[in-house]
Amino acid sequence: MMNGGVVAYPTSTLPGLACLPTAASLDGLYNLKGRSADKPVSLGVLSLEQASDLVHVPPTVIDMEAAFERGSITFVLDAVTPLDERLGGSRVAVRCLAHPTARALVKRFGPITATSANEAGVAPEGSAEAAGRSLGLSSHAVLPGTCPGGLGSTFVGVSSGEAGLEVTVMREGVVPATVVMEWLTNRTSNTGETPGTSHDERLKP
């Protein structure tokens, strides 16, 4: 990975595809997936504390991360400094990874991409090994491990608006939008958040 390579790895939902958040590494990742450059990928981190080097993390996000299973929500947040547009530019998606193999990868290399390990338009595989084979990766570029499969993480956007903090379910995943909104509703009177729902086509796996 230090030389711009891409690695398939297991996560708590779907197999992930990791590279370092550098321009050259992202070139390789996007070429491998056949992904359009206008569809940014998320970053996997160990914790929101680590993510705070890259994005602004409001208290609401800290509370939400603690309320749900680790790795089940990806947060789209304002960047401290704009990143590569393929990482979202001024709005970056970060996910606290839960799978021990994924966490070991981040401990070694720092934040990594957390996009699903599949070609654009192709259904994800159920294991990192199968994903690696389907993408034509060599065995040394695959960290073995099966994944639960099913839905990916739920994307939740958090930003500052005229009415206060605005929280939006951008892509429904393992945590249903209704559950997220119910959690938010229970806090609205105390935090001034403005819950809402929308969908962003750029955030497909």
Q: Read off the CATH number of the domain in which 181 is found.
A: 3.90.870.10
Side-chain half-sphere CA neighbours of 66 within 13 A: 6
Q: What range defines the domain where residue 97 resides?
A: 7-203
93: in domain: yes
1: in domain: no
pTM of the model: 0.90
Q: Strand pairing partners for 157?
A: 76, 168
* E strand intervals along the chain: 7-9, 16-18, 43-45, 73-78, 91-96, 112-113, 115-116, 154-161, 164-171, 194-197
Locate 110 and state its tokens: 């720092």
2: in domain: no
Number of domains in the chain: 1
Residue pLDDT tens, the chain, 205 long: 888 899 999 999 999 999 999 999 999 999 999 999 999 999 999 999 999 999 999 999 999 999 999 999 999 999 999 999 999 999 999 999 999 999 999 999 999 999 999 998 899 999 999 999 999 999 999 999 999 988 999 999 999 877 678 899 999 999 999 999 999 888 776 655 555 545 454 444 4
* E strand intervals along 68-193: 73-78, 91-96, 112-113, 115-116, 154-161, 164-171
